[in-house]
Each structure stands twice: as C-alpha cells, then as structure tokens.
Chains A and B, each alone.
Chain A
Amino acid sequence: MKANILIVGVGGQGTLLASRVLGALAEIEGADCKLSEVHGMSQRGGSVVTHVKIAPEVMSPIVGVGDADVILAFEELEALRYINYLKKGGTVVVNTQRILPMPVITGARKYPEDVIDSLRASAGKVVALDALAVAEEIGELRSVNVVMLGALAADIGVAFEKIDAALKAAVKPKLYDINRKALKRGYENREEI
C-alpha cells in the first residue's frame, strides 16, 4: 500500500482520529507509515491539517506541495485552501459542510461560492458527500470524521473489513459501534461529482 493523504478541516472536527485510523490501517497492511499532526493553538477552531504517509519506506513525515494522492477534506473551504498539495490528477474527497471562518462571520469577507467547481478544475476527481447530514441521521454529530474516512477508504480501494479493523484498533471500545455505523454509511454513500 502506498498513499500520501492530507486530512484538512477545522480544529475540533477530528482530523487526529482520522489519521490514527489510517495509521492503524498501515499497521494492518504491514506498511511503513508516518503521521504528522497539529496540536496547540491551531486546534481552537482554526484551519488544521494532518499528514498521512503510507509506503514501504517513508522518510519525511510531511506531505509536500503537489505530493498528495488524496486530500480528505472535512470542510469545503479547507479543501480549496490546501489544493496546492494535490498531485496532478489526484482525488479530493470532500464534505460539503461549510463552517464559516471569522472574516466571513464578521462580514469582512464572503465565503467563496464556487468551491466544488474550483476543486474540480484542479483535481483529477472530486468525491463529495454531506457528512454532517449522515452524522445527524446516525445521531452522532461528532462522527463526521469517520463518515468521511469511510468515503476515503472506498475511494482508494481499501476493503471495508480492513478499514473497519483499523477503526476498531483506533477508537475506544465504547465508541466503536456508533463509529462503525458512520464508517459504513460513508463507505457506501459517497458520490463522484
């Protein structure tokens, strides 16, 4: 297995857990893996990015500009913010949820209208789903990250059983059932647009 994945979103959306599930997947696959996370100040509702590199041998833990096979975005604007990191022909798996940043909330800036179009212009493929709506249906708003992870796994051709095993290894036992539901829904509900 070989993939450079950039997970982007807004602090508090759970990019860390998503990356740790992918780390567990690498362990299951017997591949080398490095993850790089953001802690501290940036977590407080700011733009966050987590790097996941899986390969037979990984050197730098950081995914460089133009080096990501996939961008997994938990928020539309954040997908666009990191689009420079995508390889030519790479895939964006994006949650269509919008979380307004402070300059938009205060009216100083407008939230860009055409995010999905812009993504499509730069990416080889864009896979989108409304993960918040799925999470609401499941009854656990905080499972947006795992819904998205399901969509990612399906897109990069990871068998459900494998990503499910990785999830089980990475989450607390009492949170596994609800997260498995989220994973499955994401795995089955994505659509290319």
Chain B
Amino acid sequence: MKKLMLGNEAIARGAYEAGVRVVSAYPGTPSTEVSECIAKYDEVYAEWAPNEKVACEVAVGVSYAGARSMVCMKHVGVNVAADPMFTAAYTGVNGGMVILAADDPGMHSSQNEQDTRFYARSAHIPMLEPADSAEAKQFTKLAFELSEEYDTPVFVRTTTRLAHSQSFVEEEERKEAPLRPYVKDVSKYTMMPSSAIGRHVAVEARENRLAADVNGFEINREEMRSPELGVICSGVVYEYVREALPEASVLKLGMVYPLAIEKARSFAAKVERLVVVEELEPFIENQLKAHGIACEGKSLFSKQGELSVAVIREKLLGVATEEKKLDLPVRPPVMCAGCPHRGVFYILNKLKLTVSADIGCYTLGAQPPLAAVDTVLCMGASVGIAHGFEKARGREQSAHTVAVIGDSTFIHSGITGLINAVYNKSNITLIILDNSTTGMTGHQQHPATGLTLKQEPAKILDIVALCKTVGCDSVRVVDSYDLAEVEKAVKEEVARDGVSVIVAKRPCALLNRNYPPACTVEDCRKCGMCFRLGCPAIEKQEDGSARINASLCVGCGLCSKVCRFGAIKEGKR
C-alpha cells in the first residue's frame, strides 16, 4: 500500500524492512524522527544514547556481534561520533551497519551548515543520498546490503528538506536478517598498530573495488534529454533541477561517495555544457575537476544556504523570480509562555553576568529582551568556555561569569567539562537548567527522565548526586520559577571559590498542560518591567500598559513576581 511518509519515517521503514535489529541515537533536528518512528516496531530494539559517540559505538558493537544496526544523528553529531566512526571504517562490519547523518543547509535548526559528505571521503565510508521518501526507504535497505557486501559502515545522508518532507512510499514486508556468527578476529576487530596497518590496506582495496563498481550502480541514473545542458546532482536538489530545468539531461547520483567518475565522464561527453548543482561545498565538482572532467558549479551557485527551483532557474535559464521586499516585524522563535528558563535568564540579564550558554531551547536566552547570552558554540561547550574565561582572565572574571546548560546537553557532553573544571582547580558556576526533557528537538527522553525511547521505565540518573560525586564544591537546587531564590543562589555561587553547580529545576511548560488560569492585570503603572521577561503572552498596548493574552498565558506567575506595583495577579485555581 502507498502511504505518505516523512523522509525520516521512510528511513525508519527501510531499516525495519531490512531487518535491522538495533538502533541507537541521540536526538538532533532534522534526524530525530527516524529513531522515534523505528521505536514503534516491536521487532527492533531502539534506544536514546547520551550522545552520538556512544550511539555509534553501540551500533558498531551490534554489527561486530553479527546483527544489522543503525545509528542516527544530525550533521554536528557526526563530529561527536567521528572517533569510533573513522576506525569502524578500518575494522569493517559483521552485520550491516548504517550511519544516518542529517545535514541542515540553511541552518533551520543548527549552529553551522557543515557538509557531511567530506566525512565520507575523509573516513573512507561510502555515502548514499536519497531524493525523496521512496528513495529514502529504498536506499536505506540498499545501504545494509552494501555494508555487508563491501565490509564497511555505510552513510545515508539526508538534508532538512528530505528529512521533513512527505511523499508516497510503498510499504513492503520486513525480511529478517539472521544473526551472523561472531568469530574472534584480532586482525579485524582489535585496532592497534599491528592490526590497523593491515586494515588500512583493506580499506583502500575495498574503496578501489567500490569506486569501480559504483559506475554500474543503478542508483546513479543517467536521464538523457536535450544535449544542450547536462546537470549532475543528488538528493533533494534533483527534484529542484527537474522542476526548474525540465529539458536538461541529468546524471542523478544516488551514491555521492565514492563518485561514479567514469559514468560522469561518459555523461560529460554527451552534453554541450556540464553543470554540477549541489548545496553547500563543491564536493562533487572538485572531484570531477580533479579527474579532468570540465564542469561549472560554484562559479554559479552559493556555498551558503539552500538551493531552490527559483535559484536554479535564475542561474541557468536567466529567469529571475521577482520578490518584493517587505519591511515587517520579524517573528523569531521565542521561549514559550511559562518556560522555566525565562526567569533564570531574566536574573542573569539583571545581574549583567557574562554567560556561556549551550545548545537547546535556552539558546533563545540570547534573544532580546532577555539578551543574556555571550557565547554558544556546540553541545556541552558552555562549561569548558567558562573554565577558559577563568583561566584567561582570572577570579575577577569568574565572579561575573556563569555557564548555562540543559539537562540533556549536560549528560551529552557537559559532564566531562565539569570534571575538567573540578580537576583543574577552576572557579566557575554552572547552572543546569533541568526541565526533565530534551526540549528543542520535541521532548525526547534521556538518562535522567526515567523512561527509555520505547517509553519503558528506566533508572533515573541523579544529576545532583553526580555533580557532588565528581567533586563540585557546592551543589544546590532551586525552583526556576522562584526568582528571588534563583537570584540569591547565583549571587552566592559566583562569589564562592571553587566549582559550583546550581540545578534550576522545573519541567518544560509543554510537558504537563494542566495549567492554572491566566494571569490578569489591573491598574498597570506602565513601568515596563514585565516586558523585560520577553513572554509572548504579555503584550504592550498603545498607551504603554501591559495586557495579558489569556489564550497564550499558562499562568506561571513570573510576571506577577517582577511587577513592582502588584498590578499583575496570578490566576487562582
């Protein structure tokens, strides 16, 4: 039966049909739904790991043990998982292993737009790139076969527009992949110099074999139309090219590494003008040029952001799309009404502290009017950056500096930074914004929530006990809604020598929607204090007074605490 499916759902379906036994992942937009979808199949064991490195190691272990495995992550997660990944390319697999890596050109929900295809080349891991949901399913299944055939993990690369688009997919039955025997083989699975030297030879031999075979793969498809213009492309860009240039001949690459060089060479000979249309870096273009195939690419198209039908039309047909410029108020994402992070950032702004923040909903604390964030780099970096500030500028600086991190991100990679700070006699204050979930990616479980990806009960990691155990000098818990308590704790801890942790605890406002009635305003004195909270439910009227939008307010009462005149009343149940 044909069914509309998200690209991510189709990848999960493909893995399911291919007989995948274990999937491990850390959530990250735009890859999260792959794991959420696969968790619904009883035949598949699926888990959230604390980070992508662990998830990748689990998948490698499953593969060595003889079963098919998949690990899923967003592009920046590949950086975290790179260590096991590069050497897993040396060991190769036993059961087929697929690495799903989701790129985010245009940075819809990311801190950079790195091009994961370079990982494929650098680690010598083949990479497939589907164009729609039907291919997402088909290529995922193929990836498992190639993995076992060529004894290597295989990447399936997506981008946001594939991961989060729906198109029709034909469902098929699951085919069980029998457990392969596990045989101890130090020369293959124990990577120390003596054995790795031999495996590097195997990697090169395998890659040479694949680089020859890839020219015959059906997923690299030549579509001859007019010889005037030939386009080489892959992924969702193929769809844009077909819509923008219905007359052009196309070489659609299903495998982007290794490239089908000889196929490209023969395609090039059949067309008068050859253009590589690819998002981000000139990955395909430069390899073609290195092999002496003349083509155009980034001389026409930007390395930044996404491509579109309109851009392709403009650059290759000279047909520009008119776009009127409108000067409208922007609507950036904001912390939700009732968000427990809001009060903490309000205090940090009030105290004019230097704040190293991290990746999650609380990154939004950088936006005005809270505007309380100085730095955001990558998952877990807040702790190391605060420590770096202290080592560079001394105790005077750390007395005015805090690091801020979410519970899920802390477990992902903040904990190692904290151990480093304790070990190296730092004087930093870390605020863990514990909202009992992985918020930004849509409420995934993690080791401190008490539930697994399959929604089964699990042991609960005690974050407070963990911080004490690693040797922090002070660990205290505050209620994120209690502004006075938050302020007192922050002032005391930045003044204290040593490493301090403040756990600001309050579940995400979207988790339990049993809200009290909305707050109300009476006799507003127009002082404007409440607007500094940046709450979407508090609206500034023409006359400067505050109005609370009852359809948005969730009754958290934060505004009643900042109103000096007692004009805002909490809704009573």
Contacts and interface: CB of A to CB of B under 8 A. Distances in A.
Interface string A38-81: 11111111110000000000111110111100000000011011
Nearest to A47: B331
Contacts of A39: 29-30, 32-33, 109, 164, 442
A106 B334 CA distance: 13
Interface stretch (B16-24, B274-282, B428-436, B530-538): B530-538
Nearest to A97: B551
Contact of B321 (A33, A47, A66, A107): A66
Instruction: List 3 tightest A-B contacts by C-beta distance, closest first.
Output: A40-B109, A40-B29, A46-B333
Contacts of A10: 331
B331 A23 contact: no
A61 B330 contact: no
Interface in B389-428: none
Q: Is the interface of B mostly helix, strand, loop or mixed?
A: loop
A31 B234 CA distance: 25
Q: B309, B322, B335: which has the most chain A beta carbons within 10 Å?
A: B309
Nearest to A36: B165
A106 B369 contact: yes
A138 to B, nearest CB: 14
B228 interface: no
B109 A37 contact: no
A41 B539 contact: no
B33 to A, nearest CB: 8
B166 A65 contact: no
What band does the interface of chain B fall in when counting residues whose beta carbon is under 8 Å from A?
Answer: 35 or more
Contacts of B161: 36, 61-62
B308 A62 contact: yes
B334 A45 contact: yes
Interface string B1-13: 0101010000000
A156 interface: no
A66 B239 CA distance: 18
Interface in A1-59: 10-12, 20, 23-24, 26-27, 32-47, 58-59
Given A105-B539, A107-B531, A60 B240 contact: yes
A65 B323 contact: yes
B181 interface: no
A165 interface: no
Nearest to A115: B328
Interface in A72-129: 77-78, 80-81, 83-84, 99-112
Given A33-B168, A106-B534, A42 B333 contact: yes
A106 B540 contact: yes
Contacts of A84: 323-324, 326
Contacts of A112: 328-329
Given A36-B164, A45-B334, A60 B29 contact: no
A182 to B, nearest CB: 15
B367 A34 contact: no
A102 B331 contact: yes
6 contacts: A38-B108, A42-B109, A64-B310, A101-B330, A105-B538, A106-B369
Given A62-B308, A102-B367, A105-B536, A78 B165 contact: no
Interface string A140-151: 010000000000
B167 interface: yes
Interface in B489-540: 528, 531, 534-536, 538-540
Nearest to A103: B329
A7 to B, nearest CB: 13
A167 interface: no
B568 interface: no
Given A37-B165, A39-B109, 16 more contacts: A11-B333, A33-B166, A35-B4, A38-B164, A39-B32, A40-B441, A44-B334, A45-B333, A59-B239, A60-B309, A61-B161, A99-B552, A101-B330, A102-B367, A105-B535, A141-B551
A50 to B, nearest CB: 10
Contacts of B167: 32-35, 58, 61
A144 to B, nearest CB: 9
Contacts of A38: 108, 164
B236 interface: yes
Contact of A106 (B165, B243, B531): B531
A105 B534 contact: yes
Given A33-B168, A39-B29, A44-B361, A27 B310 contact: no
Given A35-B4, A100-B539, A44 B335 contact: yes
